[in-house]
Amino acid sequence: MARIIRFHEHGGPEVLRIEDLVVAPPGPGEVQIRVKALGLNRAEALMRSGTYIETPALPSGLGLEAAGIVSRVGAGVASFAPGDAVSIVPPVSMSRWPAYGELANFPAGLVVKHPPALGWEGAAALWMAYLTAYGALIDIARLGIRDKVVITAASSSVGLAAIQIARHVGALPIAVTRTSGKTKDLLEAGAAHAIAVEEENVEERLSALVGPAGVRVVFDPVGGPLFMPLTAAMARGGILIEYGGLSKEPTPFPLFAVLSKSLTLRGYLVHEILADPGRLAAAKRFILDGVAAGALRPIIARTFPFEQIVDAHRYLESNAQFGKVVVTL
């Protein structure tokens, strides 16, 4: 028996339950992990509430990221052995391979021997944020030296990963956040500049920072009215990569800016990296090399014990965090 977190109905954090369940042994090509830490993601709150792109049968498990020790390996797995310290690349389906529990099974192709310097918390906070940022900025936008990139929702784990990746390749990251309360932390995290959307005119501030050359890349999970000032500040031939839809307001189509500057507006989900073995292998190399070089390092906002998973989800949805929310076992 192992303690597993599941939900039997959609709703708020209070629907999460810790249950004692029998965990099946790993199947062919799978690895069973004794979990030491979990990285929490907004996608998990969305699936719990019934608004995620995946709609599981209930009751359902949950979770996309974990780090721990290999407990058992399934038939055909030769690259891992019991006792290995590993972390998990997020699966495409979290109901099929849920991470929230003391024991969890994953396909061997999603298991990584992470650098020991990360520790359990850092390893559990690594893959979703850095794969998401890498896929947009490096794989798609080909961000490089002297490029200017605007990163909205910059204090999220993905936003902070994007700032670090931009710095790692010699680009200039401009962080956008709601208020100035996180400005100092964003600058210390590597942002060249920080803009508070509720306190400043975004278009005027961006124009003052980048001048007529404009911003080549925008990385945004918000949408909404912010599209207008962002695209107004973009360079000719620039690309805006949208990976969310957090705004509750309609998102206008910036027709004049798109036409006059030949802009690309690109929808993106990390699943397109996860589903392509070649692109995923390149992403793993980039991220692990960056970790080894000290350029990429997850920022942990707060750590909760496993028994406080409800409180952890409440904090996740508060938007008060700076970086990743982690649960330890």
Q: pLDDT of the chain along its 329 residues, tens only?
A: 899 999 999 999 999 999 999 999 999 999 999 999 999 999 999 999 998 888 899 999 999 999 999 999 999 999 999 999 999 999 989 999 999 999 999 999 999 998 888 999 999 999 999 999 999 999 999 999 999 999 999 999 999 999 999 999 999 999 999 999 999 999 999 999 999 999 999 999 999 999 999 999 999 999 999 999 999 999 999 999 999 988 889 999 999 999 999 999 999 999 999 999 999 999 999 999 999 999 999 999 999 999 999 999 999 999 889 999 999 99
pLDDT of amino acid 319 = 84
Contact status, residue 71 vs residue 33, Cβ threshold 8 Å: yes
Q: What gap in Å lies between CA 259 and CA 299, rounded to an integer? A: 39
Q: Coil, strand, or helix at residue 80?
A: coil
pLDDT of amino acid 117 = 86
CA angle 67, 73, 78 (to 5 degrees): 105
The domain spans of the chain are 2-126+298-328, 130-271
Q: What gap in Å lies between CA 205 and CA 48, rounded to an integer? A: 38
**Residue 125 phi, psi dihedral angles, 5° rounding:** -100, 5
Q: Do domains 2-126+298-328 and 130-271 have the same CATH topology?
A: no
In terms of Cα–Cα distance, which of 105, 86, 88, 121 is closest to 28?
Answer: 105
Q: What gap in Å lies between CA 179 and CA 237, rounded to an integer? A: 30
Long-range CB pairs of 191-197, under 8 A, 24+ apart, other chains included:
191/151, 191/154, 191/163, 194/154, 197/226
Contact status, residue 156 vs residue 45, Cβ threshold 8 Å: no
Q: What gap in Å lies between CA 75 and CA 317, rounded to an integer? A: 40
pLDDT of amino acid 195 = 97
pTM: 0.94
- What angle separates helix 157-168 from helix 127-134, to the nearest 10 degrees? 50
Alpha helices for the chain (secondary structure H): 42-49, 119-124, 127-134, 157-168, 183-188, 202-210, 227-232, 255-261, 271-274, 277-292, 309-316
In terms of Cα–Cα distance, which of 166, 175, 168, 128 is closest to 147?
Answer: 166
pLDDT of amino acid 97 = 95
Q: What gap in Å lies between CA 241 and CA 136, rounded to an integer? A: 7
Domain 130-271 has CATH 3.10.290.10: no
Buried b (16+ CB within 10 A) or exposed e, 52-68: beeebeeebbbbbbbbb
Q: Fold for domain 2-126+298-328?
A: Quinone Oxidoreductase; Chain A, domain 1 (3.90.180)
pLDDT of amino acid 123 = 97
